[in-house]
Amino acid sequence: MANDRWAQAAFKARVDEVLTRVVAEEADRFAAIDASLAAVAERLKASVAHGKRLRAAFCYWGWRAVGQPDSDALVRAAASMELVHAAAVVHDDLIDDSPLRHGRPTAHVALRRAVSGRRGTSDAVDEVAAARSLAMLVGDLLMSLAGQLFATCGLPSAYVARARPLWSVMARELIAGECLEILRTGTGPDTATALKVVRYKTAKYTVEHPLLIGGALAGAGARLREGYSAYGLPLGEAFQLRDDLLGLFGDPEHTGKANADDVHGHRPTTLLAETWRLADDEARELLRALLGRPDLNGEDLDVVRSTMRRLKAPDRIEDMIAARVEEALAALHELAVPEQAATALTALAHSVSVRLS
């Protein structure tokens, strides 16, 4: 598969086709159990309606870089990475109480309609709690479906067996990252802590683990696996650092997210940690008054943004992104992989770090 814009779009279309079909089949089986499950089944389908399919692409090229050929079975295996992501998104939006994703209501918000006016529901608080519980279960079902798609992708069973243990590692580290974010939310901003959350919550399952799983499927040797990690980990961190910037400075029309989430939730982002590190006493006092406020408004956000700009914290994050992309590409340059794979992984590195959403 040549690495040009058309080819990237064609790969995404192949992944989308697999996800749409597999999730629709599962949603139909789920809804057939009882008519009242229809709204939950619709959320399953909605969970895979959008996405850049970066995780699938890294899994794909983790396989191709070993010298293995393209196949539909490989695309199915790669598509399972996107179901892991879909599950993580549902759970993350629930944990963060985010109202929007891709410009549409998140699962726990959309599912309020399914429980609205139920007999026995006494007030809106009960409905919100019920909708949140349904969303949690949607995420659980997506993660289960991810494992099922991977196990039945169609590649030889011996190939799947040697990659399957990496799923446990991926799940453990992803959940550890989510737990760390919860435990660190509202605490004193610290850059080292924030980067650890970035590494485990996002970086590993976005780039490093898909690459390693694709490589394991293909029988990659130790040297190549080490190179995948050396390329994947800094690039995954760059991905999340870009998300931090977009979360506050991005255009909601492009990001599809509410840009007050990180400040409203006082989350342990690297952007906030670097702002705090660079701030004087006056700026810190101002930030203390705004971070985590439930009644945060547009003017408050503008104050936070102007403070960050004055301290040049966004510039610092841009420097961190650039350094990590450079580190990733240097590691890639050291790997003996087919030219086609090197070209694709170089293009992916740029698309991960330079984006509007």
| C-alpha–C-alpha distance, residues 357 and 354, integer Å | 9
pLDDT at 8 over 90: no
Instruction: Please state the φ and ψ torsions of residue 100, each to the nearest 5 degrees.
Output: -130, 145
Convert the pLDDT of each residue in 58-99 to its tens digit.
999 999 999 999 999 999 999 999 999 999 999 999 998 888
Contact 127, 112 (CB under 8 A): yes
| C-alpha–C-alpha distance, residues 207 and 58, integer Å | 6
What is the average pLDDT value for the chain, to the nearest integer? 91
Domain boundaries, the chain: 5-353
pLDDT for 4 equals 43
**Spatial CA neighbour of 180 closest among 87, 268, 270, 247:** 268
Residue type, 87: A
* Residue where the block lists tokens 């446990």: 168
Q: What is the mean pLDDT of residues 293-320?
A: 92
pLDDT for 297 equals 86
| pLDDT band (50, 70, 90) for residue 296 | confident
Among the residue ranges 149-153, 250-254, 285-289, 301-305, the one predicted with the least confidence is 250-254
Contact 191, 241 (CB under 8 A): no
Under DSSP, is residue 100 helix (H, G, I), strand (E, B) or coil? Answer: strand
Contact 244, 203 (CB under 8 A): no
Under DSSP, is residue 98 helix (H, G, I), strand (E, B) or coil? Answer: coil
Contact 196, 180 (CB under 8 A): yes
- Tell me the β-bridge partners of 104: 101
| pLDDT band (50, 70, 90) for residue 123 | low
| pLDDT band (50, 70, 90) for residue 6 | very low
pLDDT for 197 equals 95
| pLDDT band (50, 70, 90) for residue 255 | low
Diameter of the chain measured on Cα atoms: 64
Convert the pLDDT of each residue in 322-344 to its tens digit.
999 999 999 999 999 999 999 99
pLDDT at 254 over 80: no
| C-alpha–C-alpha distance, residues 61 and 21, integer Å | 23
* Residue where the block lists tokens 């899994």: 59
User: Hey, what CATH topology would domain 5-353 get?
Assistant: Farnesyl Diphosphate Synthase (1.10.600)
Element (H, E) at 101: strand 100-101
**Spatial CA neighbour of 40 closest among 114, 132, 130:** 114
Q: What is the mean pLDDT of residues 132-140?
A: 96
Q: What is the mean pLDDT of residues 311-322?
A: 97
| pLDDT band (50, 70, 90) for residue 179 | very high
pLDDT at 47 over 80: yes
| C-alpha–C-alpha distance, residues 268 and 276, integer Å | 11
Task: Note the pTM of the prediction, 2 decimals.
Answer: 0.93
pLDDT for 125 equals 62
Q: How far is CA 59 from CA 186, 215, 237, 296, in A?
A: 35, 8, 17, 40
Under DSSP, is residue 154 helix (H, G, I), strand (E, B) or coil? Answer: coil
* Percent of the chain clearing pLDDT 70 (strictly above): 94
Convert the pLDDT of each residue in 181-230 to its tens digit.
999 988 888 999 999 999 999 999 999 999 999 999 999 999 999 999 99
pLDDT for 2 equals 46
